[in-house]
Structure formats: structure tokens, C-alpha cells
Amino acid sequence: MQKILITGANGLLGQKLVHLLVNNPTIELIATARGKSRLSISEGFSYQEMDLSDPVQIQEVIDKVRPDSIIHTAAMTNVDMCHQDPEGCWEANVTAVEYLIEQCQRHNIYLCHVSTDFVFDGENGPYHEEDQPAPISVYGKSKYEAELRVQASGLRWSIIRTVLVYGIVPDMSRSNIILWVKNSLERGQAIKVVSDQLRTPTLAEDLALGCWLATQRHAQGIYHISGKDFMSPYDMAIATANYFALDKTLITEVTADTFTQEAKRPPRTGFILNKAINELGYNPVSFEEGISVMVKQLNAIHD
């Protein structure tokens, strides 16, 4: 029986991980997040409130449950909010990781840490794991600093970098590009979508699976876990319109400088997945398959 603790269990990735692992008879699952559980299920796992800005509470929870592995999904990921509040960003994305590392060191816990393509400058993606990070935003810098701390910790660790995660859960706190495009076009609303940023968008279920594949093996090192289709948000919007047979003429192709965003975005990221495929057995869905997964879930929520 492996005991696995998940941080950020109320978030999109956290919820997908709970759903993935909850029925696995070889796992004792502990879900943690700040505040009460917002998960749509309550059976098959235990839930502990754990505020990652409070080292005392972190120590109390980890001393009590003694996990074998921690999958750390909690983070401040809004790139512009990180830019506006660099101190809050550092506390959420670096200091919290330092607190977790300390407890992992005390109990010899394996740490699977989730990171981002924004550790790169986006000048020459898609990227291999060995490529040198050069973050251009407060968010990207904070995530890279956290990676460096994990690597220097002396723990057994994996770093799972990912790209533009999309998916749905019943209590969606924010939308995603697919739902936004679908809802806009269904209302006959014209939208402008960027075509000069390139990514490998990631279905949340695939990311959850990648985290589990690494944790299950106690894999050591950095792994790039994302979708396999290299595309711009404009490509994603067109694919969404095609999937739902909606009016593509409402979609206008624009460049990133059309919008005023406070924080810089790397223009061209995306990942080369060979290492995760060969070492972990990772096999992501296509973007179109990802849309169909979401549609099934939407229908289930509305039924």
C-alpha cells in the first residue's frame, strides 16, 4: 500500500489526480488544500486542510499522515497576478516548496513537483528536458527557483513540467480556451485569438496520469508532460469550431501584441515528449480527443 498526499486537491489537476487514484486498491490517498474540500466526491480518500503558507500546519499534517510520496500541484499560476504581486507569487511558488522539502527530508518522502513551460524564454521551442531554462516573467522565475530547490534537496524527486492545461471539473472556478470558444461562437460573438504563440496544450487527465506514472515508479529527474499537438491558440479555436460545427468566420487571427498583458509570455514553447514516452510509458491524447473527453464530462455534469 502506497500512501500518496496531493497538495492543491481543489484545483483542476488536484481533482483529476484524486479521481484517477481514488479507486486504486494499492493506494491510500490523502487530499489536501487550503480551506474545505471542493471535490465532487468524498469517498475513498481522506481530506486534510493544509495551508502551504503555514509551515506549522504542513508539519502537523505530514507528521500525522506520513505519506510515502507527495504530488505537489498547488501553485499561483495566473501569470499577470504573479507580475502584480511578486511577493505573494514567491510565497506560493517558492517558499511553500521549501516548507514541503523540509518535511520530505524529515520523513524521506518522494516529491513529485509540478512545473511549467514558462521556465523557458520561448525563443526556440518545443523543448527537451535538458534545454536551459531562461524565464522571462515573475511566474516563470518563481517556478524555476522552485525547481532548483527540489533538485538541490537531496530527496528522491521528479519535476513534471507541463504546458497550457485544459479540462473541466464540476465547480469550475475558471474557464478554458475550448469552453470560451464554444460559448462565444454559440452566442454568435466574434472573438480575436492569438496565432503567434505556440504551445502543446495538455488535457488535465493526461497531466494527472503523467504525475502518477512518475510517482508510481519513484522516477528521478525532469519529465516533460504535455499534449502532442504543437499549435497556437488560434489553431485550438479553429479545431474547437470544427469539432462543434460552429461558425469559424467569427474567429479573427491576431498577434499577441493586440492585447495588453502585464506579464511577458514566451512566444514558442511546447515540449518534446520522448523521455516521458520511453521512460514512463506516457501516451497523451490528441487535441481533438481531448475535446471529446471534455464534452463527455460536460454532458455528465449537466445530466
3-state secondary structure of 1: coil
d(CA 106, CA 98): 13
The DSSP secondary-structure symbol of 222 reads E
Helix/strand/coil percent split, the chain, to 5:
45, 20, 40
Spatial distance between the Cα atoms of 52 and 191, rounded to a whole number of angstroms: 38
Closest by CA to 153, choosing from 188, 197, 112, is 112
Task: Give the containing element (helix H, strand E) for 276.
Answer: helix 274-280
Give the pLDDT confidence score for residue 259 in this predicted structure. Answer: 87
In CATH terms, 2-168+202-227+271-285 corresponds, of 1.10.10.10, 3.40.50.1820, 3.30.540.10, 3.40.50.720, to: 3.40.50.720
Q: Tell me the C-alpha distance between 158 and 143, whole Å.
A: 14
Dihedral of alpha carbons 155, 6, 115, 271, sign: positive
The number of helix segments (H) and strand segments (E) in the chain equals: 11, 11
Strand partners, 113: 72, 159
User: What residues have CB less than 8 Å from 21, skipping those under 6 apart?
Assistant: 4, 27, 29, 45, 212
pLDDT at position 170: 83
Longest dimension (CA), the chain: 58
In the predicted model, residues of the chain with pLDDT beneath 70 are 172-174
Q: HSE of 168 in the Cβ direction (CA atoms, 13 Å)?
A: 20
- Domain spans of the chain, in order of start: 2-168+202-227+271-285
SS3 54: coil
Tell me phi and psi for residue 293, to 5 degrees.
-60, -45
Q: How far apart are CA 300 and CA 209, in angstroms?
A: 21
Give the three-class secondary structure for 71. Answer: strand
Give the single-character DSSP code of 189: -
Q: Which three cell numbers stand for residue 57?
A: 500546519
Pairwise CA distance, residues 92 & 113, whole Å: 13
The answer to whether the Cα torsion of 236, 242, 243, 247 is positive or negative is: positive
* CB-based contact 72:112 (threshold 8 Å): yes
